[in-house]
Amino acid sequence: MITNYVVMNDTATAVRLLGALPVMAEAEEEVGEMVRQARALLLNTGTPVRSRVRAMQLAAESASRAGVPVVLDPVGCGATGYRVQINQTLARGGTPAIVRGNAAEVAALIGRRMDIRGVEHTGEDNESYHKARIALARAAASQLSCVVAVSGPVDVVSDGRSTVPRTGLVQNGVPLLASVVGTGCIVSSLIAAFATVESDPFLAALWGFAVLGVAAERAAREIGENGAGRPIRFKEAVLDHLHILKPDELAEGVRLESLDQ
C-alpha cells in the first residue's frame, strides 16, 4: 500500500481487521521488490509529494509486469491541476484494475468538470445526481478500460473491460460515513483486500463497498440514532464490526442491484 499520511493507520487497521496483511512501502529502493511479493497494490494520491508519486509510478510499473492488480484512489483529483496530472498519469494505459473515487474525483480524472470542495463532492444527492453518477461511472470505466467504483449515498460500480457491460449498485451504508474523515480511503483499501482473493475486479469492488456499508449499518445500530452525535465512537464501532462481521451476516445484509438485465 502507498497511501496518504492522513489515513495510513486507519487503512492498515481496516485491512488487517478484515483478515488481510497490509504492508506500507514507499521507498524507491524497495517498492518494486515489495510489489512482486504482493497480491494487490493500493495507490492513494491524497498527499502527493514528489518522492511518493515517483514511488507510485515505480510500483505501478512493477505491478504491471508481475500481474498484480492495482487499485487507484485519486484523492482530491480536480482540486488542483497537479493532482489531475499525476492521477491521469497513473491511470494511463490501463494500469489500474480498479479506480475508486467520489464523483468529482472520477469526473476530473476523465477530463470532466464538477464542483469540488476538499475531497468531497458538492452535488445534490437527488435522483438526477444519482443518475449522473451512474452515467459517469460507465463513461469513466469505458474510457479508462477498467472497473470504476464511484462512492456516494448509493455506490456505483461499472466494468469497462468487458464487451458485456456490467454496472451494479451497493445500497448499504449510513449518512454518517460521509462525515468521518478517511472512510473513502478505507473502502479503497478494503477493495484492494478483496482483490487479493477475488480475480474479478468488478466483484472485488462491489464487495469492498458492501463490507464497509454493512459494518457501518451494524455499528450505527449498536450506538443508536444512526451514530449521530458520536462520530468518533461510530468510526471505532465500524472498525470493530469489520473484524467481527461473519460471511453469512455480510451475505444476509448486503443490498446489491444489477442495472444490466
Per-residue confidence (pLDDT) for residue 64, from 0 to 100: 93
The arithmetic mean of pLDDT across residues 153-172, rounded, is: 92
The pLDDT tens digits of the residues spanning 65-81 come to: 999 999 999 999 999 99
Total residue length of the chain: 261
Per-residue confidence (pLDDT) for residue 115, from 0 to 100: 53
Bigger pLDDT: 95 or 25? 25
The pLDDT tens digits of the residues spanning 178-193 come to: 888 999 999 999 999 9
The arithmetic mean of pLDDT across residues 105-113, rounded, is: 93
Asked whether the beta carbons of 148 and 108 are under 8 A apart, the reply is no
The arithmetic mean of pLDDT across residues 4-15, rounded, is: 95
Per-residue confidence (pLDDT) for residue 226, from 0 to 100: 64
Domain boundaries in the chain? 8-258
Q: Where are the beta strands (DSSP E) in the chain?
A: 41-44, 70-73, 98-102, 116-117, 120-121, 147-151, 155-159, 166-170, 256-258
Per-residue confidence (pLDDT) for residue 95, from 0 to 100: 83
The pLDDT tens digits of the residues spanning 88-104 come to: 999 986 689 999 999 99
The pLDDT tens digits of the residues spanning 122-155 come to: 445 578 888 999 999 999 999 999 999 999 999 9
CATH superfamily of 8-258: Ribokinase (3.40.1190.20)
pTM recorded for the entire structure: 0.93
CA separation (Å) from 212 to 5, 15, 80, 167? 21, 11, 29, 19
The arithmetic mean of pLDDT across residues 246-259, rounded, is: 95
HEC string of 133-178 equals HHHHHHHHHHHHCCEEEEECCCEEEEECCCCCCEEEEECCCCHHHH
